[in-house]
Amino acid sequence: MSDTVLSVRDLTVVVHGDGPPEAIVDGVSFDLKRGEILGLVGESGSGKSVTSRALIRLLPGARLGIAGGSAVLGGRDILALDENSVRAVRGGEIGMIFQNPSSHLDPVMTIGRQIAESIRFHRSVSRGEARRQAIDILRQVGIPDPERRYDAYPHEFSGGMRQRAMIAVALACDPDVLIADEPTTALDVTVQAQILKLLMDLRDTRGVSIIFITHDLGVVSQICDRVAVMYGGRIVEVGDKRDIIGNGRHPYTAGLVACQPAEGHPGERVRTIAGQPPRVGQMPPGCRFHPRCPKADAVCMQTRPPLEASGTAHLVACHHPVLNAQEVAS
């Protein structure tokens, strides 16, 4: 269980604009263990999606570029591979599922053929064998009557079934790592529960490691083993989910948990974090959270806090970490 599948070190993605390049993913490091579900949590613009796209070398937009760092998967640094080798990694060792399955499935190709295409791209098997494997994987993701559904088009599937189909495409070549970028955000809450259960079952049966990107802390605490909290392109806190949810030591993590609408009583005002998340082009110096932080002082405005250990396997990047949950409340 404890061996590391993917090891990311100092991953930096910059955006080239009018001024000097600005890091929107700034020195991100984490390890993903075999069979682990790691939650990547943050608000819009925190760099969580860009981090995941950098790992499959599909950065959205020509102005974005990887400026440094490494990501070692199976003894190779993905970030240093040439384009041909990266294509073998995408869909091979790393599978990816997205928020909106309709825009990531080919609308004019049957579901089954999209899975079989991926299998035949990565492995030399016959058409018949690819079809057999594709039907098998459709059954594993819980699509009823897979032999008949193999020939169905995406529009004939409901939203939840389409998400299952995309999971099937991603898992077709038995990847070591599955990157799930907000896979349940567009789904209804009852269907979300089904997909979360499916992902956990697949982790248990196939031993795949999952990077689960979301902004929903409820989802995180239900399915993740460890959680990394991102803010302004940096990981501000990472640890076991029990260390993060409710016992977070970074003021941002603590604030994020406190401002869940479920925390508190009806009619009571919701706790908020004042201000806005930083925008590209206007990243503050020092700790990027300092303009919104209640504990910020002169040091926070100038010096970037390093990600330091705060207990076993719990890292925090803060000059003035929160002591405990009571301190936030007062």
Partner 1 sequence: MSVKASPLLEVTALNVHFGGTSLIPAFAGPTLRAVNGVSLTVMPGETLGLVGESGSGKSTLGRAILRIGDLTSGEILFDGTDMARATVGDLARLRRQTAMIFQDPYGALNPRMRVGEAIAEVLRVHRKVPRDKIGARVAELLNLVGLDEGYARSRPVDLSGGQCQRVGIARALAVEPKLIVADECVAALDVSIQGQIINLLMDLRERIGMAIIFIAHDLAIVRRLCDRVAVMYLGRIVEIGPTEQVFTDPSHPYTASLLRAIPDIDPDKGLPANPLTGEPPSPLALPCGCAFHPRCPKALPQCSTGEPPSLEGVGPHRAACILPPGEITI
Give the interface with partner 1 as residue ranges (CB under 8 A): 43-44, 158-161, 188-194, 196-197, 200, 215-219, 221-223, 241-242, 245-246, 255-257, 259-264, 266-273, 276-277, 279
> Closest separation between CB of residue 175 and partner 1, Å?
23
Contact 58, 37 (CB under 8 A): no
Pick the closer one to partner 1 by CB: 270 or 309. 270
Token pair for residue 257?
């948990």
The CB-based long-range contact list for 131-140 (8 Å cut-off, 24+ gap) reads 133/172, 134/168, 134/172, 137/168, 137/171, 137/172, 138/111, 138/112, 138/165, 138/168, 140/168, 140/171, 140/202, 140/205
Give me the residue label for tokens 């201000």.
Answer: 275
Distance from C-alpha of 204 to C-alpha of 159, rounded to nearest angstrom = 24
Of 320, 179, 196, nearest to 249 by C-alpha is 320
Pick the closer one to partner 1 by CB: 82 or 268. 268
> Closest separation between CB of residue 160 and partner 1, Å?
5
Pick the closer one to partner 1 by CB: 135 or 187. 187
Pick the closer one to partner 1 by CB: 71 or 322. 322
> Closest separation between CB of residue 119 and partner 1, Å?
28
> Closest separation between CB of residue 217 and partner 1, Å?
5
> Closest separation between CB of residue 275 and partner 1, Å?
9
> Closest separation between CB of residue 194 and partner 1, Å?
5
Pick the closer one to partner 1 by CB: 66 or 191. 191
Tell me, what amino acid is at 302?
Q
Distance from C-alpha of 321 to C-alpha of 288, rounded to nearest angstrom = 15
Region class of 267: left (phi > 0), else alpha (psi between -120 and 50), else beta: left
Pick the closer one to partner 1 by CB: 75 or 266. 266
> Closest separation between CB of residue 300 and partner 1, Å?
18
Cβ neighbors of 27 (< 8 A, separation 6 or more) are 10, 11, 12, 69, 234
Pick the closer one to partner 1 by CB: 79 or 227. 227
Q: What is the dihedral of CA 170, 2, 226, 159, to 10 degrees?
A: 20
> Closest separation between CB of residue 85 and partner 1, Å?
37
Give me the residue label for tokens 């263990």.
Answer: 33
Pick the closer one to partner 1 by CB: 72 or 191. 191
Token pair for residue 285?
């110096």
CA 66 to each of CA 14, 69, 186: distance values in angstroms, whole numbers, following the listed order: 6, 8, 29
